[in-house]
Structure 1
Amino acid sequence: MDLKLQKFLESTDFIRAVKVTVAAATPVILFSYLNLFSIGFTVALGALFTFSSDIPGNLRHRVNGMLASNLIATGSTVVISLATINPWIFYPVLISLVFFLSMIAVYGQRATLVSFSGLLAMSLSFSHSYTGWALLQHAGLMISGGLFYLCISMIFYYIRPYRYAELRMAECIVLTSKYLKLRGTLWDIRADRNKITEELLSLQIELNETHEKLRETLIKNRTKGGSSNQNRRLLIAHIELVEILELAMATSFDHNKLHHTFQEHPYVLNAYKHLAYNLAALLNELGQSIENRKKYTGKHRPFQDLEAFRKAIDRYEKQTHTSGRPTADEVLVLINMFNYVEKQAEKIKVVEYTFTHALHTQEPKHKDKELEKLLTPVHYNPITITQNLSFSSTIFRHSLRLTLTVLAGFLIGNILPIQNTYWILLTIVVIMRPGYGLTKQRSVHRTIGTLAGGIIAFGIISVVHNSTVLGILAMTCMVLGFSFIQRNYSIGATFITLYVIFVYGMLTPDIQDVILFRIADTLIGTALAFTANHFLWPSWEFLSLPTFLENSIKATRDYIREISVFYNRKGEVPLPYRIARKHAFIEIGNLMASFQRMTQEPKSRQKQLGQYYALVVLNHTLLTSAASMGSFIQSRKTTKASEAFNAITGAIINNLENAMELLKEEKQNIPVDKETKEMLKLRFTELKEIRKKEILESGGTQNENFRLKMEEGQLIIEHLIGLTNLSENIVKAVKDIRERQ
């Protein structure tokens, strides 16, 4: 079987599509044989509404999400059906229901999908009105359909309980491999480093999302249901991959300077690049083997490459020593490179070993609670909604916007000679998102998909009139539509349109009219959604970007503070350090995602785009520099932290706090503390004098203690200088943005 086809058939999207198709098609087929098509169709609707919130994650959260979707979708149908009886209460009920369902999204991604199920059910409830016993029967059948889908989903889960986690792990390994390879590409003297930096930032967003999904799945499975061998295997690999990413971020070299320094000895850098590329290739092969469920046979030997790099360093040191050149700093740079790549190779081999050997150790039970603290908490407190009832909340503005747009779509559908008003509402609900960029993107893709699906369906319906063939085509398109809806919205919308039209083709002879009305309704709904997002309290990204920037600076500040605490206390890496690191990585990803959304908005709304991009890059560089110092301190037995070190890190933290104050409306200017700047100069001088004294007291560069102290002294000073300059530049950049406002 072709690897791409196998990958598609093994994907989570395809499995989810198969589940919903089985759950929706089975009742329709069974009840159709009993001449009870309407009953089967209602059960299928219940399954479809429940499917929306069935996203991977912790099992308890999945089940609760599906049950909530089922009940809210059924409740929305009942409420709308009852409200249509009295026109005086209908519009207040419609407005209140749409607003309430939209506000549920404040509780996170799964809640957003539960909200979506309710909005879909509300839209489809206008296709047929029910009263009395018929309404109760309809609601009961919808609940039955939801429970049927829940059973199907659980059957799939227990057949392969760890397959989702394995696929996410494979994705994480492959993404990490790409990240390492991009870092390796920076060593090419002709590389476009600005473009590579943008790609690294985008890739980090994906890695952050994947890490968060893995945390929820693996840690919750461990703490709630015990730790199986496979779950432990995946959890160990995940922890190592986080460390690998930190190491990769932590190590930043001045590539131009290194190329110039070692231009007469290119074999040194070539040995390093060869090793770096092979480590990335090893991870990629491992990820592919997990994804394709094939036995992994490693082709690369990183420790042999590591030994070759060490020999290249020895060769360089001997050659330059013979020529009489001073090489202490240059050799220390190479030793630093060696230490980094050695640590990276060790961690990558741990990941490789985890999937190629049996595990015999069991982690202590007391660590379960510590691991659980690494999860991002989700609180379902009712007060969360009331706290978001203001125009400062993106969800609140979106809820108002969606409510008014649905109301407008309903009125237009009743005024114009529209066959199915609910198609307009469905289009609005599916397309509208809180952000302008995503709504615009989905509007274009939805229009393209509907037009393409309509044209293709028209051609097929004109030739095929057999209901059985149309039914098979409908189920096929349903599977493909739901498989592609997350991967490629245009293709997904095309297949969903085909599926809907084929179903109507089995039920009505006037299928050409159905196609035309569906296209017209989609265009009306798309136009309404796009217009509303542009003019009704739009969530322009330049308004929220400062908040994301402040959160990122705050998270990086906390990370630097934890690094300082760890350097003073020594010992094992504490949990607060790991939590601070996680938050720093997540917030820089959120910042970059916000900036990317800003680039999708109209040019008139891309205010100070260049200045904000400079700040994004500065903050990313600050984080990588902090991670570099943290990684160095973790991997070495360091000396006692001096007062100078603590004073300088305190000044760096103070700079970041000043930047955060500048981003707030109430603080327009932060005075420059000249005394602090003078104190920092003295502290840097103090650190340099300590290092100079060590050089003078040492018996020579061959002394191991000397080399370790030299390495620590040089690198700590370089990190502190870099962090200080970056923090000061961030303050200047924020000031520049505030002055331009």
Structure 2
Amino acid sequence: MKSSSFSKAILVGIAVSLPVILGIIFDHLGIGLALCFGAFWSSPSNTHGSFHHKKSGILFSTALVTVVSFIGGYLNIATWLLIPVLGLLTFAIAYISIYGFRASLISFSGLLALVLSFAHTPSELAPYEYSLFIGAGGLWYLLLVSIAYRFNRKAQTEESLSETFELTAKFLDTRASLIGEQTNREELQRKLHELQTDLIEHHETLRDILISSRKASGNSNYENKKLLIFIQLVEMLETAIANPVDYDTMDTVFVAHPTLKQYYQDIIFTISNQLHNFANSEETNSIDDSKIDALLKSAGENIQKLNNQENYEHFIILQNLLEYQEKQFVKLKRIRWLSSNPQLETSDFLATNALKRFLIPRDYNLKMGLRNFTFKSVIFRHSLRLAVTIMLGYLIGVLLEFQNPYWILLTIIVIMRPSYGLTKARSKDRIIGTLLGAVIAAGMVLFIKDFYVLGALGIVSLVVAFSVVQKNYKASATFVTLSVVFIYAILRPDILVVIQYRIIDTIIGAALSFMAILWLWPAWGFLEIRGNIKASISANRNFLKCISEVYVKKTAVSTEYKIARKVAFLETSNLNAAFQRMAQEPKSKQKNIDAIYELVVLNHTMLSSLASLSTYLQHHKTTPASEHFKKAVKIIDTNLAQNISVVENPSEANKTIKQSKILASTNERLANFSFKDVESMIKTTSNNERNFQEAHLIWEQLRWLHSISEKMLPLTEGLELD
């Protein structure tokens, strides 16, 4: 009940019920229903994001449902002509989704208006009057949203930040569980990748909210503090990913030093517990600081005992891991300080122009629509598939003379999604939710005869349905069915017949949706994942380039560097999400699933290695870059370029990129690199230990990057994704 989903559902409940109640009181039910529908159809655009984007989404939704309702009011034509018109309108409205997630919600609003125009024909209003009141209903809903925002501007920011704290804590918990020998390491790695994907999605949403709010409100102390906390959480993710990636080596180290394994796990779990407390708006106990300090001190003392010739490699590995824990602790203390409501200095404020570059620009021009008007586009195929299914569903409803054929259409637009996995899951959840809701509602309406009680239950059920729609679609479908049955129980005496048709229509709509996603221009994951693989490798390659420039030129970390880091994280997350969608598809469509999974893991591993380099460079003064380093980076870059070329154009697979003799020696050295090589790469100085540590970390990561880029090539060459 504390969530923004619940507060948004309350707004929807008020927006749809108040006009109907006033319409009944003043004997203008037709106007009340029009306002109710307008508010209801415009509500999907009120989703996570900045208030500016919400407002724009609701206004566009209002305009679309007004136009669609106007057209729908004049669709009283012969069935043979209505069906192709319905298909054409469905395609046009669904095609709006090419412009992004919020555009897909606007499209959904338009489809709701189109389908439900068959459900209600106003008797006291002309079609143009009805459509104008629909538009007024959308503006009425926008007014409610604006009032709610003015009263509680911080609600969405606080909730999004809380969710990010919680996900970061779970991510750290999983990282801690990976330390030491594990029997279920592959399962933990999969869970880690999923958490990383969710976390990066939350970062994108929170980034949009914070930066857009900052542009609207200026340099407020509140907005700056939340931005600085967010930056610490982003860096916590990067630092966590920068953990040593060679778990076989770590297993060997911790078998020899089991006490240190326990120290490290205790430190991470203590930090994550404090993040859980932040997520729940609880004050973190300062005693935990002394506990972490004690653990860090004890671990450091035990590590120093290994500072000898016999255990020097273990000493360097464990020292790097200890410094990683110390960095996380520093970030935690920074978050706690920022949460204590300090007065920030002007120097702490972040430049708005630089921040705006972190937002993903949206291309809303007509050219994008024309570029996607092809069967290569997932949205084009989805729009065409949806249009054909809607026409077929309406035809079935008319031929079989169903009581409410529009319920078939409504089920189709709610269930059908561009991906097979989500459509299948929604079909199952919709049917189960409808059956469950129908059974519960049938039992209740037989005993409850008071119209006011039924009306109240209908509104409450609708609010609950909207509250849980994002988290539990099955429960949402149950409460939607309850709401529909309660409302119909007021209007019609034959409620059991209504329930019967509701179930039949839902099953038909779900079956049509599932068959369509299987047979009508399906967008299988193996057809789309090539682009995700290329984007992820390209982003990692660009991140490596930025890291190399900072190390070679000893420059400060620039905005371009941070954007490259953000894109690398985002594209790796997108690749993992694409693979998860592919894994939900029929076995016959999971082409090269093992090779693709390995590529996903390798891209994650590469990002981890790059993050290790990145965090080290940001927190240490480094020695001059050697020629060996430059040559090694060039080899890795060449390998990645070849992988991108092969993914982009499979015919390139048989062409080899010739490397110069100078690179060949470095290539061999990277392939056979061992810890002993560190001694030959640095000079003995007064800061010998630090130089050893730097050389070990950087060259160990370069060896990993080289190994990964080499492993990728046979995988990309062997992909058959057409």
1:142 matched to 2:134? The reply is yes
- Residues 265-320 of structure 1, C-alpha deviations (whole Å, 9 max, x = no match): 4333322222121111111112111xxxx5x13255346524543443334534x5
Spell out the pairing of 1:4-83 with structure 2 (5 A cutoff): 9-83=1-75
Q: Which residue of 2 aligns with 1:679?
A: 665
User: What secondary structure, in the 3-state scheme, does the structure 2 residue paired with 1:668 have?
Assistant: helix
Q: Which residue of 2 aligns with 1:6?
A: none
Spell out the pairing of 1:194-593 with structure 2 (5 A cutoff): 194-289=186-281, 294=282, 296-302=283-289, 304-318=291-305, 326-363=310-347, 367-593=351-577
Q: Which residue of 2 aligns with 1:93?
A: 85
Q: CA deviation at 1:505?
A: 0.6
1:158 matched to 2:150? The reply is yes
Q: Indicate conservation of the 8 Å contact 2:41/2:138, yes or no.
A: yes
Q: CA deviation at 1:679?
A: 3.0
- Residues 538-581 of structure 1, C-alpha deviations (whole Å, 9 max, x = no match): 01111111111111111111111111111122232111111111
Q: Which residue of 2 aligns with 1:667?
A: 652
CA distance in 1, matches of 2:375, 2:79: 30
CA distance in 2, matches of 1:729, 1:410: 52
User: What secondary structure, in the 3-state scheme, does the structure 2 residue paired with 1:348 have?
Assistant: helix
Spell out the pairing of 1:639-678 with structure 2 (5 A cutoff): 639-665=623-649, 666-671=651-656, 673=658, 675=660, 678=664
User: What secondary structure, in the 3-state scheme, does the structure 1 residue paired with 2:45 have?
Assistant: coil
**Residues 87 and 334 of structure 1, relative CA distance in 2, 3 Å threshold:** closer
Q: CA deviation at 1:203?
A: 0.3
Q: Which amino acid aligns with 1:171?
A: E
User: What secondary structure, in the 3-state scheme, does the structure 2 residue paired with 1:607 have?
Assistant: coil
1:611 to 570, 595, 615: 595
Q: Which amino acid aligns with 1:317?
A: Q
Q: Indicate conservation of the 8 Å contact 2:296/2:326, yes or no.
A: no
User: What secondary structure, in the 3-state scheme, does the structure 2 residue paired with 1:127 have?
Assistant: coil
Q: CA deviation at 1:504?
A: 0.7
Q: Which residue of 1 aligns with 2:698?
A: 716
**Residues 18 and 127 of structure 1, relative CA distance in 2, 3 Å threshold:** same
Q: Which residue of 2 aligns with 1:596?
A: 580
Point out the more displaced range, 87-96 or 686-695. 686-695
2:112 to 114, 117, 120: 120
Q: Which amino acid aligns with 1:98?
A: T
CA distance in 2, matches of 1:695, 1:99: 65
User: What secondary structure, in the 3-state scheme, does the structure 2 residue paired with 1:359 have?
Assistant: coil
Q: Indicate conservation of the 8 Å contact 2:23/2:32, yes or no.
A: yes
Q: CA deviation at 1:639?
A: 1.4
Q: Which residue of 1 aligns with 2:99?
A: 107
Superposition RMSD in Å: 2.3
CA distance in 2, matches of 1:258, 1:97: 59
CA distance in 2, matches of 1:592, 1:225: 36
Q: Indicate conservation of the 8 Å contact 1:223/1:369, yes or no.
A: no
Q: Which amino acid aligns with 1:240?
A: Q
CA distance in 1, matches of 2:207, 2:479: 34
Q: CA deviation at 1:363?
A: 4.8
Q: Which residue of 2 aligns with 1:3?
A: none
**Residues 312 and 516 of structure 1, relative CA distance in 2, 3 Å threshold:** closer
Q: Which residue of 2 aligns with 1:725?
A: 707
CA distance in 2, matches of 1:696, 1:123: 75
**Residues 598 and 242 of structure 1, relative CA distance in 2, 3 Å threshold:** same
CA distance in 2, matches of 1:358, 1:260: 45
CA distance in 1, matches of 2:653, 2:299: 54
Q: CA deviation at 1:79?
A: 1.1
- Residues 442-491 of structure 1, C-alpha deviations (whole Å, 9 max, x = no match): 01111111111111111111111110110111111011111111111111
Q: Which amino acid aligns with 2:690?
A: L
Q: Which residue of 1 aligns with 2:613?
A: 629
CA distance in 2, matches of 1:207, 1:519: 38
Aligned length in residues? 719
TM-score, length-normalised on structure 1?
0.93
Q: Which residue of 2 aligns with 1:5?
A: none
Q: Which amino acid aligns with 1:109?
A: F
Q: CA deviation at 1:527?
A: 1.2
**Residues 255 and 313 of structure 1, relative CA distance in 2, 3 Å threshold:** farther
- Residues 317-349 of structure 1, C-alpha deviations (whole Å, 9 max, x = no match): 34x57xx76233222222211211111111121
* Structure 2 gap ranges (5+): none
Q: CA deviation at 1:41?
A: 1.7
Identity of aligned residues (%): 36
Q: CA deviation at 1:682?
A: 6.4
CA distance in 2, matches of 1:736, 1:529: 34
**Residues 132 and 278 of structure 1, relative CA distance in 2, 3 Å threshold:** closer
**Residues 420 and 311 of structure 1, relative CA distance in 2, 3 Å threshold:** closer
Q: Which amino acid aligns with 2:572?
A: I
**Residues 662 and 468 of structure 1, relative CA distance in 2, 3 Å threshold:** same
1:692 to 656, 672, 679: 679
* Structure 1 gap ranges (5+): 1-8
